[in-house]
Structure 1
Amino acid sequence: MKVIVDWGLCDGNGVCAIEAPTVFEIDDDDELRLLKDQIDDAERARVDSAVRVCPKRALRLEP
């Protein structure tokens, strides 16, 4: 699965980094960093949760 971030919508609130810290992080400048855009099955549930809780709806998964 591929993680897609709509950077125009993302405001860097960091909820995704809490839900899936192996995929997302907030850097020292309070900007979101995508640590990897391809996830494996073990990370799927956490990334699904990050997608659901994103207040700006800036995240999605694609096959």
Structure 2
Amino acid sequence: MDKPWVWENAAYWLLYVVALGAVLWHWAHGNPVLAGLCLIGVALSMRFITQSARREDAVGPPRP
């Protein structure tokens, strides 16, 4: 595993996609409490994605 940023970034995006889908599914099926909890997961994953993008070693190969 020479590129840990790939797995970290993929994990955050997977969390975002799954949590967003869960928000929509729970809301459509009349469960606003779980939809709200999943929305918190979406917000956290968005925060993690933006934080990893700001770090020197994340979200892409090293700069020359």
Q: Establish whether TM, by shorter chain, passes 0.5.
A: no
Higher RCO structure (Cα 8 Å, ≥6 apart): 1
Structure (1 or 2) with the greater helix fraction:
2
**TM score, norm. by length of structure 2:** 0.32
**Normalised by the size of structure 1, how large is the TM-score?**
0.32
- Please say which structure displays the higher CA radius of gyration: 2
Higher strand share: 1
